[in-house]
């Protein structure tokens, strides 16, 4: 199997993948290749159902989001992970079974700067 370098069309992160895997990912995301984090963000947006995004709209929205932040791809991945974890922790803490003592949220200051 031949390995090829491919660039995410959302965040610009490069990964080495087989051609079969690249084709499989493109088939799922409207002909666009997305890295693992961007594909998870798009799937999450589709499954949330608040805006009733289809796959094509979710891909377009995520590409627009990534385009607003023309950063180093590694920084973009880190920011995406932070955003995804915040969403998930918010979903977990709002469950009816969580106790009031475990509902405290600890967050990092919003004044963190990237150099």
- How far, in Å, CA of 25 to CA of 36, rounded? 9
**DSSP 8-state secondary structure symbol assigned to residue 12:** -
Find all residues with CB under 8 Å of 92, minimum gap 6, and list them.
98
Residue 112: strand, helix, or coil: coil
Percent of the chain at pLDDT exceeding 70: 69
pTM of the shown model = 0.57
- How far, in Å, CA of 62 to CA of 57, rounded? 9
Q: Categorize the per-residue pLDDT at 92 as very low, low, confident or very high, splitting at 50, 70 and 90.
A: low
**pLDDT digit string (tens) for 41-90?**
898 888 876 666 788 888 888 888 887 766 566 776 777 788 888 887 77
Q: Which spans in the chain are helix H?
A: 19-28, 36-48, 55-68, 73-93
Query: What is the model's pLDDT at position 7?
Result: 92
Query: What is the model's pLDDT at position 24?
Result: 94
């Amino acid at each position: 199997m031949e390995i090829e370098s491919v660039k995410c069309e959302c965040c610009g992160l490069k990964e080495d993948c087989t051609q079969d895997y690249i084709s499989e990912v493109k088939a799922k995301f409207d002909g666009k290749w997305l890295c693992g984090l961007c594909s998870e963000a798009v799937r999450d947006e589709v499954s949330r159902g608040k805006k009733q995004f289809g796959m094509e709209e979710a891909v377009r929205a995520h590409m627009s989001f990534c385009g607003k932040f023309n950063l180093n791809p590694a920084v973009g991945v880190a920011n995406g992970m932070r955003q995804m974890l915040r969403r998930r922790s918010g979903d977990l803490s709002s469950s009816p079974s969580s106790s009031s003592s475990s509902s405290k949220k600890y967050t990092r200051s919003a004044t963190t700067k990237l150099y």
